[in-house]
Every structure is written in C-alpha cells, then in structure tokens.
C-alpha cells in the first residue's frame, strides 16, 4: 500500500537522504527514528507527497492523514468545524463519535482558544483519524506533552489505529512511543546518513 524507493533527496545540491526503501502493507506500523537533522521529517514529507523534489518512486493511497507536533487547528472555527472542514464528506454521527472518543463531546461548539492544550491536541488527533485514512503519518505528535497527556494521547492513537487498521508511519525520538503503538523501528543512521535499516524491537 505504501512503496517508496527513494534514490536521492537533496537540498541545494547537498544530499540529505539516499537509498531509502519502504514497502508497507495495510495495517503495518513503523517508527522512523534517528538523530536530529538526519532527515526524518524530510522523509515523511516525501511520503506525504508534500515534497516531490526527489529522485525515486513513491506509491501511496490517495487519502493520507497527517498529524504534526503542532496541532494546527483553525482558531476561527469551532471544534466541530475543525473536523468538518477537513472532512466535508463526514456524517454528523461520525463527527460526534470522533469528538466523543477524545472526550470532547461537550466542547463541539468551543473554539480552539477556549480549549486546554490537552483538549486541542486531542481534537487534532480526532481530526487525523476521523475518516480512517488508509495511511496515517505522524510527525512527533507526542513530543513536549506532559506525561499523563502523552500517555492518554498514545492510548487514543492506539485505539484509533486498532479500529481503522491504518498503516502508520511515526517520526519519533522515543522507543517507548513506538512500543506503545506496536510499531517496528526504522532507524536512519547518522554515520552513513544515507542508508536506512530496519531494526526490530
Ligand atoms: N527546506 C529546506 N531547505 C534546506 N534544507 C533543509 C530544508 N528542510 C530540511 N533541510 C535540511 O535537511 C536536513 C534534514 O532535516 P529534517 O527536518 O528532515 O531532520 P529531522 O531528522 O526531522 O530533524 P529533527 O529530529 O530535529 O526534527 C537538515 O540538515 C535540514 O537542515
């Protein structure tokens, strides 16, 4: 369902990633790890189709859900509208159910700034999983959360993934997160800076 043969990605003539090969099936979960600046986000952006300037071949489903460290909510839209605007085909029941699942049923008409940080993060999670996209890409969405919110977000994410059977690619610095989500680790090595290897955990 996701196949990437990335031969080379460079910025201004400087090679950042080379020879990365991914072949994932529906329901697979992988975590891309490695030191800061190694190219994890660059790789995720290529998989997402946000960066098309690379040498290689990418094959993904049309529908891809994305979640970043920053919740990227629209502050002038209510919680419910923040879900609807990204999923215009979603039904009333689906939207309600998604809000309920993240404990925001009573906050449907609140604006993001009327929500706590944790509620905003949970809303972003609900938005990401609302339509059970076949491919879900997560770029450090659990970083800099307090421990209880992080653990809550991880449980909710696992719940959503179990329900949707989406394929997940997570960028993270944390083995614990990979384990909590049942993901295999895919390590980008700094010394080579170019090739990737699958590391079982
Ligand atoms: N738009 C850009 N233009 C030029 N260089 C870039 C651009 N985006 C990323 N880079 C460079 O590519 C390299 C990889 O960046 P990337 O953000 O993918 O790393 P990362 O592994 O996700 O890092 P971190 O863990 O710190 O988020 C870095 O050296 C970065 O400076």
DSSP assignment of 33-71 equals: E-STTSSHHHHHHHHHTS---SEEEEE--S-EEEE-SS-
3-state SS assignment for residue 92:
helix
Mutation test of ligand 1: which of 34, 42, 144, 171 has the most ligand atoms closer than 8 Å to its C-beta?
Answer: 42
Which of ligand 1's atoms lies nearest the C-alpha of 188?
21
Summarize the confidence of residues 113-124 as an average pLDDT. 94
Mean pLDDT value across residues 47-75? 94
Q: What is the mean pLDDT of residues 172-196?
A: 81
Kindly give the distance from the C-alpha atom of residue 15 to the centroid of ligand 1, in angstroms, as a whole number: 11
Rounded Cα distance between 36 and 16, Å, is 12
pLDDT digits (tens, 9 = 90+) for 2-16: 999 999 999 999 999
For ligand 1, the distance from its centroid to the CA atom of residue 154, given in whole angstroms, is: 25
Q: Residue 196: pLDDT above 80? A: no
Q: How far apart, in whole angstroms, are the C-alpha atoms of residue 129 and residue 98?
A: 8
pLDDT at site 86: 87
- Phi, psi of 73, deg, nearest 5: -90, 155
List the residue whose alpha carbon is closest to atom 2 of ligand 1. 11
Binned at pLDDT 50, 70 and 90, residue 191 comes out as low
Neighbours of 79 (CB within 10 A): 28
Residues with CB under 6 A from ligand 1: 11, 16, 34, 36-42
Q: Which residues pair with 171 in a beta bridge?
A: 32, 139
The pLDDT assigned to 4 comes to: 96
- Using 50, 70 and 90 to split pLDDT, how confident is the model at 190? low
Q: What is the pTM of this model?
A: 0.91
Please give the sequence-ordered ranges of beta strands (E in DSSP) within 34-165, or none if there are none: 55-59, 64-67, 135-139
Predicted complex ipTM:
0.97
| The dihedral formed by the CA atoms of 124, 125, 130 and 131, expressed in degrees to the nearest 10 | 100
Q: At residue 198, does pLDDT exceed 50?
A: no
The protein residue whose alpha carbon is closest to atom 27 in ligand 1 is: 36
Please give the Cα distance from 31 to 175 (Å, whole number).
8
What is the rounded CA–CA span in Å between residue 171 and residue 34? 9
- pLDDT score of 197 more than 80: no
Instruction: Point out the ligand 1 atom lying closest to the alpha carbon of residue 38.
Output: 21
Residue 162: both structure tokens together: 């179990």
40 C-alpha to center of ligand 1: Å?
A: 8
pLDDT exceeds cutoff 80 at 195: no
Structure tokens at 63: 């529908």
| Residue among 9, 31, 35, 40 whose CB has most ligand 1 atoms within 8 A, to mutate | 40
């Amino acid at each position: 369902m996701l196949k990437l043969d990335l031969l080379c990605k460079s910025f201004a003539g400087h090679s950042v990633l080379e020879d990365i090969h991914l072949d994932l099936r529906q329901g697979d979960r992988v975590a891309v790890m490695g030191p800061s600046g190694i190219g994890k986000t660059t790789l995720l952006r290529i998989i997402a189709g946000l960066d098309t300037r690379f040498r290689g071949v990418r094959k993904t489903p049309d529908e891809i859900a994305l979640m970043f460290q920053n919740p990227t909510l629209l502050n002038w839209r209510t919680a419910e509208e923040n879900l609807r605007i990204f999923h215009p085909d979603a039904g009333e029941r689906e939207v309600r159910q998604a809000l309920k699942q993240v404990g925001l049923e009573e906050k449907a008409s609140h604006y993001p700034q009327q929500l706590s940080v944790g509620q905003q993060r949970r809303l972003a999670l609900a938005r990401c999983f609302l339509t059970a996209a076949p491919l879900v890409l997560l770029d450090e969405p659990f970083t800099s959360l307090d421990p209880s919110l992080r653990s809550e977000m991880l449980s909710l994410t696992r719940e959503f993934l179990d329900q949707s059977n989406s394929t997940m690619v997570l960028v993270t610095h944390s083995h614990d997160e990979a384990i909590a989500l049942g993901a295999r680790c895919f390590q980008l090595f700094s010394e080579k800076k170019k090739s990737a290897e699958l590391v079982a955990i």
